[in-house]
Amino acid sequence: MKINLENLTVKDAHKSMVNGEFSAVQLAEAYLDMVKIKNKDINAFIEIYDDVLEQAKKADERIKRGDATLLTGVPIIVKDVILEKGRRASGGSKILENYKATYDAYVIKKLKNEGVVFLGRGNTDEFAMGGSTENSAFGVTKNPYDLSRVSGGSSGGPAAAVSANMALLALGSDTGGSVRQPASFCGIVGMKPTYGAVSRSGLIAMGSSLDQIGVFGKTIEDAEILYDTIKGYDPKDSTSIDEQNEMMSGNDTIKNNDENKKGYKMTIGVPENFVDSGGVDIDVLLNIKEVIKNLETAGHKIRYIKLANIKYSLAAYYIIMPAEASANLSRFDGIRYGLHIDGVSGKDDYIKTRGVGFGKEVRRRIILGTYVLSAGYKDAYYNKAMQVRELVRNDFEEAFESVDVIITPTTPTPAFKIGEKTKDPLQMYLADIFTVPLNLAGLPGISIQSGFVERDGKKLPIGIQIIAPHFKESRLFILGNEIEKTVIIPHR
């Protein structure tokens, strides 16, 4: 039978497999067929696994036994920075091109327990360094809505795969917007959890105090199902938060309030000084103003707020992140694992291996990070950036005393042309203006499609970002569900 992948959701797929309308094998075959048709143009996958149908057969056996979960048999793509035992994990880099993981990431273990079907590895900017997936050693991932444009980054491969119906769900990582920005560019849902809500064990680290594994889905409900599956305490991650912690217990007055059944009305904060700060596409501004108007009409209270120090977020981020990346990437020396090129000495081995194995953007960030940590400069740059980070976090905490959530555009523009920003790294970095502050503050955020703009005769999706207090992810899903009902996604 022909499966309608365009409108398929996790619950629909589960119901159909349990009722025998189609099997997990048939579902996997349908996605593999779509991959064969579309991936040659989009380049969302670095690798398509050769055991997909074997995984699906095991899922069918589980379904027949009657112990299937919602995710049993559901096809998923995983960003190539998350380890799966026995499979390659390159981080989108030549320096790890043939490296095979020796253990499962915590989130992979959880998904294996659910019986998901892993389709393959999703393309990414090298070591997640980039906002367009143009820095991948394995080629650019193109936007399903317009192949001349980027899919976003660094999780561009997983986002494009879900958008183009080559996977039902996806895992990505988000250090400064790398889940939310490609979700916006590709017209899907992308969610970054609170720092510590999802284990980073098995995630190839870029910026350890900023990285979080995030989720992609076509709908808010699908993203919520995936998030609920992978969250939780992991003793192997020192930054993981114990599930018994009060903040993780689901004790959210908004979620649990009986009024929610009738349509709980939130107080929504709009940082007007931030949204209207300049450099934002006029259509993006008009879109968020329309969203705000619709939310107010629906009975929500809109409160205009000021986040005094948020304008310094990007500058602070591009000091802290390269510093942490410089330290994390020092392990890739060509000696312990990955690419190795012989030189005339040990030092020469390092130089030759890294010179060939690392791309330009990675080398740029390592150099920048090493500089800001060097003697005589650490106080002037890194320590000052950490102070700014604390100010940004305090601004958000103060704002959440009077509002339930905050909304902004996800990105200042729709997806840009491939090659448009590669010669000017600063312009590329500015695309993260709305997403970076959340990583500095450790806050959860979600991007949901909120409309379209027309460019060169093509309809391009744009998104809005909803931000919640720490461990209040439920608010993202509640408001996101409401907004989602007002947006119609055209066929791609």
Catalytically active residues, by annotation:
79, 154, 178
Q: Radius of gyration of the chain from Cα atoms? A: 22
Q: Are 444 and 473 in contact (CB under 8 A)?
A: yes
Contacts of 253 (CB under 8 A, 6+ apart): none
CA dist 138 → 88, 134, 157, 198 (Å):
14, 9, 11, 28
Please list, in sequence order, all residues whose beta carbon lies within 8 angstroms of the beta carbon of residue 10, skipping any fewer than 6 positions away.
Answer: 70, 71, 74, 168, 169, 217, 221, 222, 225, 226
236 token code pair: 């192997």
* CA quadruple 385, 374, 431, 186: dihedral sign: negative
87, amino acid identity: R
Nearest residue to 448 via CA among 407, 400, 491? 407
Per the structure block, which two tokens stand in for 415? 């997806």
Tokens of 111: 């998904």
Distance of alpha carbon 153 from alpha carbon 151, whole angstroms: 7
* Bond prior to 201 in cis (omega within 30° of 0): no
Q: Which two tokens stand for residue 129?
A: 């360094």
What type of residue is 453?
A: V
Positions of E strands within 364-475: 405-409, 445-455, 458-467
Q: Is residue 219 within 8 Å of 9, Cβ to Cβ?
A: yes
Q: If we measure between CA atoms, which residue out of 293, 284, 218, 294 comes closest to residue 452?
A: 284
- 185, 321, 372 from 476: Cα distances, Å: 19, 26, 36
At residue 464, φ and ψ (nearest 5 deg) are -115, 155
Mapping DSSP to helix (H, G, I), strand (E, B) and coil, where does residue 165 land? coil
Please state the φ and ψ torsions of residue 254, each to the nearest 5 degrees.
-70, -45
